[in-house]
């Protein structure tokens, strides 16, 4: 929610720019396990997300003119359960149960409800992101107008938070981390969203024309307000901000078996944030679920025999909208991972996490497949640029390379974040856009320039 994407006027540069990062070192790089592979591994259809963006839509009938156009654009053939959730949200809006704007944060985000008024998701429209034209909260607008040089994130693309949210969920799904509530790109329309006066006037005019002059009104393609594209994240119940539980754990340490489970969940958060290079991870935007009395009863009944079969403490990584930078932070702020100062960050990565993650990230086929899936997601934005996307993937590949080495060397999370930042770029001959050929050569660049306010 504390989003501060970069202004479009901000200049940007990489470690290889003239005069910047002059001490960078170059060398050929290859990911472990890819030397004998020349073709991409078969795509796992179950892990490739449907983006929910319809390519074609038929002309609306008279009966459908009052219905939400967003319902025609939301198709999730690979995920019936998520599709059912979106259907409930659309039905609730039609019945007058509108999304409720969340007061916290610096952008327009909404609690979405089902027809029974139960919260089922959080919707963040692209047009209402911090520096979006329709952001209903004035804080970031004042920042942008009065002091544009001191605010924003020069390493991020502006107004791409909704893709970053969905991209984080995709990475979580591919790596089987299971800490990001499922997030997809959807279209929704509601009177409670922030629309311009012109859009609202057009909507009123069309409805009036349809009522008074049906012959004219039937010619309108859409009568209501225009649908908004954004990220829809499933709502999780029973969770509290990590900061609340971390203070509790200091005063009342966890039992040993629960501590190990929490450490495992924490390491999954570290893996996710590091790969996507989350620039906005404080202790107030990840959640912990731990019902102490219930867990103590379950532990007592189980007599410490089966308590590890199902996790008794869970982490939910929310607010992933400020990730996937196209360069490492190197201007004013470093945007550190605040979990790096926690005692859990000093513990070396467990064998459980090493065995879970290493087989994936050490396989170049998997890395290529992940890049392709992100390409399919990111290219749906009308301002998508292939060259910039490739720079984003270069940063992510560098993060994966560092993470692979850290896991092999049994380092701790705090040692991981202290490793030199690198980017892994494809050669010029590899082309731009979708990555297909595993035979393409890569170059590793050590990013030496640090932000003015460095954290490590």
What pLDDT shows up at residue 201?
Answer: 80
* pLDDT-derived band at 6, boundaries 50, 70, 90: very low
Closest by CA position to 191, among listed 235, 227, 159: 227
Euclidean distance between the first and the last CA atom of the chain, given in angstroms as a whole number: 25
Q: Is the pLDDT of residue 96 over 80?
A: yes
More confident residue, 321 or 205: 321
Backbone torsions φ then ψ of 134, nearest 5 degrees? -115, 25
Q: Is the pLDDT of residue 53 over 90?
A: no
Mean pLDDT to the nearest integer, 416-430: 84
99 near 225, Cβ under 8 Å?
no
Q: Is the pLDDT of residue 226 over 70?
A: yes
Mean pLDDT to the nearest integer, 356-376: 96
What pLDDT shows up at residue 296?
Answer: 57
Q: Is the pLDDT of residue 233 over 70?
A: yes
Q: How far apart are CA 161 and CA 131, in angstroms?
A: 11
Least reliable range by pLDDT among 189-203, 288-302, 317-331 = 288-302
Residues 280-307: pLDDT tens digits? 999 989 999 998 765 555 555 554 444 4
Whole-model pTM over 0.75: yes
Neighbours of 336 (CB within 10 A): 18
Task: Give the best-scoring range by mean pLDDT among 122-131, 298-307, 329-338, 368-377.
Answer: 368-377
Closest by CA position to 324, among listed 169, 433, 451, 106: 169
Q: Is the pLDDT of residue 439 over 60?
A: no
Q: How far apart are CA 49 and CA 169, in angstroms?
A: 10
Mean pLDDT to the nearest integer, 63-78: 66
């Amino acid at each position: 929610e504390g989003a501060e994407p970069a202004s479009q006027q901000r200049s940007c540069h990489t470690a290889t720019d003239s005069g910047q990062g002059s001490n960078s070192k170059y060398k050929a790089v290859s990911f472990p396990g890819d030397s004998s592979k020349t073709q991409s591994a078969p795509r796992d259809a179950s892990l490739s997300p449907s983006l929910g963006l319809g390519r074609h839509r038929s002309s609306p009938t008279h009966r459908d003119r009052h219905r939400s156009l967003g319902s025609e654009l939301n198709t999730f053939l690979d995920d019936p359960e998520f599709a059912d959730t979106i259907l409930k949200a659309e039905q609730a809006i039609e019945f007058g149960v509108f999304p409720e704007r969340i007061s916290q944060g610096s952008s327009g985000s909404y609690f979405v409800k089902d027809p029974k008024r139960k919260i089922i998701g959080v919707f963040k429209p692209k047009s209402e992101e911090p520096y979006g034209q329709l952001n209903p909260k004035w804080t970031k607008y004042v920042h942008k107008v009065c002091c544009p040089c001191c605010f924003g994130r020069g390493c991020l693309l502006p107004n791409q938070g909704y893709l970053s949210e969905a991209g984080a969920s995709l990475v979580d799904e591919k790596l089987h981390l299971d800490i990001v509530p499922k997030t997809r790109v959807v279209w929704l329309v509601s009177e409670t969203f922030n629309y311009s006066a012109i859009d609202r006037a057009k909507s009123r005019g069309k409805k009036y024309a349809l009522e008074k002059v049906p012959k004219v009104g039937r010619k309108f393609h859409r009568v209501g307000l225009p649908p908004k594209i954004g990220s829809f994240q499933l709502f999780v119940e029973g969770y509290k901000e990590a900061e609340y539980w971390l203070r509790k754990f200091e005063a009342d340490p966890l039992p040993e078996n629960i501590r190990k489970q929490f450490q495992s969940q924490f390491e999954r958060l570290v893996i996710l944030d590091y790969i996507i290079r989350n620039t906005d991870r404080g202790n107030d935007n990840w959640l912990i679920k731990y019902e102490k009395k219930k867990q103590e009863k379950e532990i007592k009944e189980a007599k410490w025999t089966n308590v590890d079969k199902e996790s008794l403490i869970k982490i939910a990584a929310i607010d992933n909208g400020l990730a996937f930078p196209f360069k490492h932070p190197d201007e004013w702020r470093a945007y550190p991972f605040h979990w790096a100062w926690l005692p859990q960050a000093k513990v070396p990565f467990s064998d459980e996490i090493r065995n879970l993650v290493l087989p994936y990230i050490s396989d170049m086929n998997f890395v290529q497949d992940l890049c392709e899936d992100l390409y399919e997601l990111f290219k749906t934005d009308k301002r998508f640029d292939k060259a910039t996307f490739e720079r984003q993937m270069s940063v992510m590949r560098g993060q994966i390379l560092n993470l692979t080495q850290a896991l092999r060397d049994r380092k701790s999370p705090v040692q991981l974040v202290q490793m030199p930042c690198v980017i892994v770029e494809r050669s010029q001959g590899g082309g731009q856009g979708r990555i297909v050929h595993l035979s393409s050569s890569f170059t590793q660049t050590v990013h030496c320039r640090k932000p003015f306010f460095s954290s490590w």
